[in-house]
Amino acid sequence: MKFIDLHCDTISAICESGRAGRARLLRRNEGHVDIERLKQGGCLAQSFALFTNIRKEPDPYTHVSELLGVFEEEMERNADEIKPALTVQDLREQEKKGGMSAVLTIEEGAACRGSTDILQQFYEKGVRMLTLTWNYENELGYPNRIDWGSGRCAPETERGLKPKGVEFIERMEELGMAADVSHLGDAGFWDVVKTAKKPFAASHSNARAIAPHVRNLSDDMIRALSERGGVMGINFCPAFLSEAENQKKQGAKSRISDMARHIRHIRNVGGIDCLALGSDFDGIPGELELNSPAAMPLLEEELRRQDFKEEEIEKIFWKNALRFFEDVWR
């Protein structure tokens, strides 16, 4: 079955390897995602995040611009197999030709330096979704609280979107760029609910009721996102799938059965139409049972085994994400 994946960190992995003097290419590599395995898994569209860590990079804008250059180089090298999709029509035309599409996203709103002009520049370069925050406060708002010394996490229930964050949501909707609330704090999530007029995404987040991690959404959040026509991409990270795996110091494992548990719960809470895939490939640690796009059929098989209907599986794998793009992109 074809699939749309809302999030991976493959471009960052390629860039970091290049900085370290190790060649790593999208065509074929030792990470999670490459062209060959995308084809094997039936990829319709893969979202590629330009991720920057504002505690490590002196200038997030410059770093994301560097990542953008890597993305553009890889698209040129692999134009016979994959092309950027700026519109849903681009995606459909590429599918008709037997090719795959790449959806460009940014993971960290600080890349825009608080400027909607820079936001527009990135849109014009092909960015179609922006993750408002990563794990640190930025010009747009606050993530959930993480004590990096102890590893303890807690929901951020007081500080949400800043005025600049509200401004960005409004401008993104004018442009046709999706807002992504993965990593955003709880208060910020509810500010997006109050501010947004279009559907929004949690591109790589799971259900907090199943795995009580702040990176996951509460049932109330799932309902609100669903009511607004949004989608949430199931994240393959062990810590976000299982509390037991999150407690492990090493050797954490991501299991397809846990993915199915989250999918079933989210379907029961928010309905089937809010479910999508957001693997977080090349950005997550641990032993992954579903360890590359080529293994996507394993999740399809598990959902069939658990009596999910064919139409439900299609919605999870690609139909809901495509509908979301249609609703948000201009």
Taking the alpha carbons at both ends of the chain, their separation in whole angstroms is 27
CB 204 within 8 A of CB 6: yes
pTM over 0.85: yes
- Can you tell me whether residue 109 is helix, strand or coil? helix
Beta bridge partners of 40: none
148-178 confidence digits (pLDDT tens): 666 678 999 999 999 999 999 999 999 999 9
Instruction: Report the candidate in 99, 126, 106, 105 with the shortest Cα–Cα distance to residue 43.
Output: 99
**pLDDT score for 257:** 98
Query: Which one is the CATH code of 3-328: 3.20.20.140, 3.30.930.10, 3.40.50.360, 3.40.220.10?
Result: 3.20.20.140
Instruction: Name the DSSP class of 274.
Output: G
Calculate what percentage of the chain has a pLDDT beyond 90.
93
CB 8 within 8 A of CB 280: yes
**pLDDT score for 18:** 79
Tokens of 8: 């991976």
| Mean predicted confidence (pLDDT) in 198-218 | 98
Write the CB contacts of 224 (distance below 8 Å, at least 6 apart in sequence): 189, 190, 193
**pLDDT score for 105:** 99
Q: Measuring CA to CA, how many Å separate 155 from each of 26, 112, 169, 217, 312?
A: 36, 25, 22, 10, 31
| Phi, psi for 328 (deg, rounded to 5) | -105, -40
**pLDDT score for 20:** 75
For the chain, the average pLDDT equals 97
- Can you tell me whether residue 175 is helix, strand or coil? helix
253-277 confidence digits (pLDDT tens): 999 999 999 999 999 999 999 999 9
pLDDT at 145 over 90: no
**pLDDT score for 149:** 63
Tokens of 212: 């009580």
**pLDDT score for 150:** 62
| Mean predicted confidence (pLDDT) in 207-220 | 98
- Residue bearing the bigger pLDDT, 251 or 33: 33
82-140 confidence digits (pLDDT tens): 999 999 999 999 999 999 999 999 999 999 999 999 999 999 999 999 999 999 999 99
Binning pLDDT at 50, 70 and 90, where does residue 36 land? very high
Tokens of 216: 């996951």
Instruction: Report the candidate in 190, 197, 195, 264 with the shortest Cα–Cα distance to residue 229.
Output: 197
Q: Domain ranges in the chain?
A: 3-328
Instruction: Name the DSSP class of 143.
Output: B
